[in-house]
Structures are given as structure tokens and as C-alpha cells.
């Protein structure tokens, strides 16, 4: 069952510009994670933000979390052609207990043009 | 190098045949997962296992089967009961929160 929805579904920008992707979810979460998938490859974990955190940085990535709005955003600054990929948010539900599974969004396809 | 391997990378199957996709990890993770991804879509959970000799159905388990006899291995069998098996299959493992993915197997039914 998908609980996350990414917005926009597709994004095309020029190299050097910033890219912002949003993710909304429906139920209370323990944490929210962002992953990247290059075409035809497996996913790579980018960053995790816990429900008691509001903002987190990792290199050119900035993630925010607003639990009152049940939404998160991923900002990639100074984008490069190599950032071209699909980006997925995934939530680990607060009610999971020992049931360690992620709920995935449908992804944002980012194209960074040279 | 630690990681997850999936084989084969490409797999072709005739209708009515069962096929088994391999997934091996040397990360010493307890939990392992199988996902299906269709073009332009997100990930849908097929089966997952949190410990050896135990596994649970995900959202789309019909037509699939798994086993977890060893911690390192979580093979997925796509049976002839799966009506639309052509897809990209991803295996993942996890110790706590973050999931680590294999490179995927692209299955095509001829």
C-alpha cells in the first residue's frame, strides 16, 4: 500500500539550479527516508529524518519534515547532470512495532540538463 | 566488499514456467525484502522476512513464493500463477531503518 505521494511527478531543470521535491503521507511516522534510483538500477539511501526532527542536511541535500502537515521536502542545491534520477520518499510507520517495512511513494523523476 | 547481489540481471521466461530469482547479502542483516517495480511506478512489496525461517506476505504476494533457510539468502520464485510477471524485481536488506538494495533483475515473459 502506498502512503506517500511525491510532487511533482517529473521535474526538468538546468545544471546549477536547485531542485525541490515534496512528499506527503497519511499516517503518523517514526521516520521518513529519501532514496535515489538511477535508471534501471537499485535504490540508494540518501537521508533519513526522524519524526522529532524538522530539518537535516547532507552535502547538497536538505530535507525538511512538517509532521503537522504530514509532508517532507527534499532540496538538491546546485544540481548536476549526475543528479538525474528518480527520487522516492519512504516512511517507517510509528505503529510498525517489530514490523520493519517501509511504505513507498511513487517517486519524482528529475532531469538535470547540461 | 559488503553488499547485495541479485542474479541474473536479465531473465526471460516462457508462459507457464516457474522461475527463481536469487538474492544474496553479506551485510549480516536480519531483514530482507522483495519488491516489484513496473515502468514509471514506485515499489510494491511482494514478501519480506525479518528472521531466518520466517517470512510475511506483502501487498502483492499472489503468484510468488519465497524461502529463508539462510540469513544470507532470500530467493523469490515467480510461479505460473502470476498473471503479469514482466517487471523489474528488487531485493533489499535492512538492519534497522535504512534499506540496502541489490541491482535488480529484469524479468520478461515471452
Place of cell 531473465: B11
Residue that wins the pLDDT comparison between B60 and B42: B60
Phi, psi of A94 (to 5 degrees): -60, -35
Tell whether B33 lies on the interface with A, counting CB pairs under 8 A.
yes
* B76's grid cell: 523469490
Supply the pLDDT for residue A6: 83
Confidence class for position A56, pLDDT limits 50, 70, 90: very high
CB contact under 8 A, B33 and A101: yes
Strand pairing report for B10-13 and B105-109: parallel
Best A102, A108, A109 member to test B by mutation, with max B CBs in 10 Å, is A102
Residue in chain A closest to B39 (alpha carbons) equals A40
Confidence class for position A92, pLDDT limits 50, 70, 90: confident
User: Please, what is the average pLDDT of chain B?
Assistant: 94
Question: Does B41 have pLDDT greater than 90?
Answer: no
Among B32-41, B59-68, B78-87, the range of highest mean pLDDT: B59-68
State the Cα angle at A86 between A62 and B106, rounded to 5°. 145
H-helix segments, B11-79: none
Mean pLDDT to the nearest integer, A9-32: 94
Question: Does A95 have pLDDT greater than 80?
Answer: no
Residue in chain B closest to A101 (alpha carbons) equals B48
Mean pLDDT to the nearest integer, A85-93: 91
CA B50/CA B30 separation, integer angstroms: 6
Question: Does A58 have pLDDT greater than 50?
Answer: yes
Mean pLDDT to the nearest integer, B63-79: 97
CB contact under 8 A, B45 and A98: no
Residue in chain A closest to B34 (alpha carbons) equals A101
Mean pLDDT to the nearest integer, B51-60: 94
Chain A neighbors of B10, CB-CB under 8 A: none
Amino acid at each position: 500500500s502506498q502512503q506517500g505521494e511525491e510532487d511533482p511527478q517529473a521535474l526538468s531543470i538546468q545544471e546549477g539550479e536547485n531542485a525541490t521535491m515534496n512528499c506527503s503521507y497519511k499516517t503518523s511516522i517514526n521516520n521518513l527516508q529519501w532514496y535515489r534510483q538511477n535508471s534501471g538500477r537499485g535504490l540508494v539511501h540518501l537521508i533519513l529524518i526522524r519524526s522529532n526532527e524538522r530539518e537535516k542536511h547532507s552535502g547538497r541535500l536538505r530535507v525538511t519534515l512538517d509532521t503537522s502537515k504530514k509532508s517532507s521536502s527534499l532540496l538538491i542545491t546546485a544540481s548536476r547532470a549526475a543528479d538525474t534520477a528518480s527520487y522516492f520518499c519512504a516512511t517507517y510507520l510509528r505503529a510498525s512495532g517489530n514490523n520493519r517495512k517501509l511504505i513507498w511513494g511513487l517517486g519524482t523523476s528529475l532531469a538535470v540538463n547540461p | 566488499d559488503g553488499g547485495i547481489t541479485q542474479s541474473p540481471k536479465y531473465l526471460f521466461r516462457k508462459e507457464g514456467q516457474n522461475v527463481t530469482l536469487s538474492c544474496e547479502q553479506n551485510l549480516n542483516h536480519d531483514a530482507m525484502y522483495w519488491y516489484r517495480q513496473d515502468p514509471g511506478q514506485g515499489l510494491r512489496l511482494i514478501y519480506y522476512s525479518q528472521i531466518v525461517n520466517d517470512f510475511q506476505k506483502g501487498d502483492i504476494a499472489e503468484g510468488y513464493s519465497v524461502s529463508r533457510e539462510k540469513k544470507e539468502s532470500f530467493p523469490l520464485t515467480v510461479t505460473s500463477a502470476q498473471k503479469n510477471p514482466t517487471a523489474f524485481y528488487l531485493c533489499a536488506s535492512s538492519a534497522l531503518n535504512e534499506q540496502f538494495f541489490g541491482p535488480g533483475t529484469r524479468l520478461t515473459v515471452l
